[in-house]
Amino acid sequence: MASAQGRDWLKTLWPASFKGVPFWFEQDKEQGGRGLVVHTFPNRDDPFVEDLGEEPRYYSGSAYVHGDNADALAETLKSALATRGAGVLVVPYFGPVTVLCQTFERATQRDQMGYVAFELKFVRQGAASGLISIPLLSNVAYLAAENAAASIAQTLPTAISTAGQPAAAVAAVTDTLSQAATALDLVRQSYPIDPAVSATVRDAIAPLVASFATSITNEAAPGADASAAVSSLVGLVRTTMDAMPAASATRAALELAASFPDTSGSPTVLGAVTAIAPAYLTPTQRLSAANAAAAARAVRLAALIAYAESILRTTFVSRPDGVTARGEIAERFENELLQTNGAANVSLFLAIEDLRDKVIDWLTQTITNLAPVITVESNRQRPSLALAWLLYADPTRADELVARNRVRNPFFMPREITALSR
């Protein structure tokens, strides 16, 4: 946390571990880059640089375990390092990343009893298979969305503090979730949606709002009840957006997320919420602000999942459209990932990161086969039908040219237009 005296680094570092086995990093390094092939040509000063994609990301460093049971700790760590399959490596500065252990080297010295050193090298996990189809990538992304939704419901109960707390602190959670349900109902009435689904969502909202008060305040089983309530809300958000056209669902999801901005003033995390408040606020007010921030963040994440799913349902017609969507997905997910830190949030962080990566993988494969956009100049104004025939030998694509260039009168197209290259 930042303060006037400077950042307390020890409180913000993640405890290092691999596959749940703890150790200490003496120092660590990360290596990456782009796979570039430089082509040179005779009598040509400027080469052609071919970008083959991102190089494998490597993590390495010097680690150690210590204590009277250093030998047992070292054996446990060696077992984790040698076990088949990927695991979560927690880097003190930057948090969890899914990797595979490539090599490890153990070293001991006779004048350092109780201290076992390791040289470690990991490589970040890549694609699940060498070749994967676009429909399969879409299915994998939907599965990642399911995992992210489940992680939100599991993490919120640990992020709030209501048991034995003042009524204001409890109301901060229930009121925020109730406002989310109300906002969802407004979205349902404002955008085109399947009538049957709209009626189902309408009938489910009132009972859901009534359940918030009892589920959040149930001290007998607060975790299970709160998880069920939040899971119902997240499911209702996804169901509502899924019943809309993809373009409408994208706008609706972003509108819902914007209705619950992060107002804590500092990084807020599900599981370890920190809300910066002026010194004159009472402890109850600070707790209420933290509870409200955690609940609002759960709603934003639910909207983010619905947004990702709407992108997966979108039909992109040009490469620039897909590139723009990919950039927006990366930016919006990155904003939430930056707020997700702390050991209690490892599963949530990985779920959000996995969903982002899977959607970006799908977009990347999709836009590879899309036509680029070109600029076409004509010596005079022509009707859209004539241009469609000249460009594609297909007059049925005239409406496409009119829509892309936002022309009011299709009989008088501008002399310079943009069009798909094929």
Is the domain spanning 9-124 CATH 2.40.30.200? The answer is: yes
The DSSP H or E segment spanning 121 is strand 115-124
**Rounded-to-integer distance, Cα 8 and Cα 1, Å:** 6
> Residue 118 in contact with residue 64, Cβ under 8 Å?
yes
Domain positions in the chain are 9-124, 134-366, 373-420
Run means of pLDDT, 10 residues per run, the chain, 422 residues: 69 89 93 91 87 90 93 92 90 91 93 93 78 77 89 79 75 83 90 91 85 64 65 89 91 90 55 49 80 84 92 84 87 85 79 90 81 80 83 80 82 81 70
Apex 401 CA angle, 397 and 403, nearest 5: 110
Q: What is the DSSP annotation of 253-309?
A: HHHHHHTS---SSS---TTS------TTS-HHHHHHHHHHHHHHHHHHHHHHHHHHH
Q: Rounded to the nearest 5°, which phi and psi values hold at 217? A: -95, 0
Instruction: Read off the DSSP letter of residue 6.
Output: -
- Collapsing DSSP states into helix, strand and coil, what is residue 381? coil
What is the pLDDT at residue 159? 74
Where are the alpha helices (H) located in 65-194, listed in sequence order?
Answer: 70-82, 134-159, 167-190
> Residue 18 in contact with residue 61, Cβ under 8 Å?
no
> Residue 260 in contact with residue 299, Cβ under 8 Å?
yes
Query: For residue 49, is it left (φ>0), alpha (ψ between -120 and 50) or beta?
Result: beta
Which amino acid, residue 306?
A: A
**Rounded-to-integer distance, Cα 304 and Cα 105, Å:** 42
Place of tokens 């109850």: 284
Other CB atoms within 10 A of residue 74 CB: 20
Q: How far lies 109's CA from each of 23, 113, 115, in Å?
A: 18, 7, 8
What is the pLDDT at residue 263? 64
Which amino acid, residue 359?
A: V
Q: How far lies 411's CA from each of 364, 398, 420, in Å?
A: 37, 10, 20
Token digits of residue 258 = 């914007």
**Rounded-to-integer distance, Cα 325 and Cα 115, Å:** 50
> Residue 305 in contact with residue 231, Cβ under 8 Å?
no
Other CB atoms within 10 A of residue 156 CB: 28
- Collapsing DSSP states into helix, strand and coil, what is residue 98? strand
What is the pLDDT at residue 266? 44
**Rounded-to-integer distance, Cα 100 and Cα 84, Å:** 8
- The reply to whether the predicted model has a pTM over 0.75 is no
> Residues with Cβ < 8 Å from 313, sequence gap 6 or more?
242, 246, 249
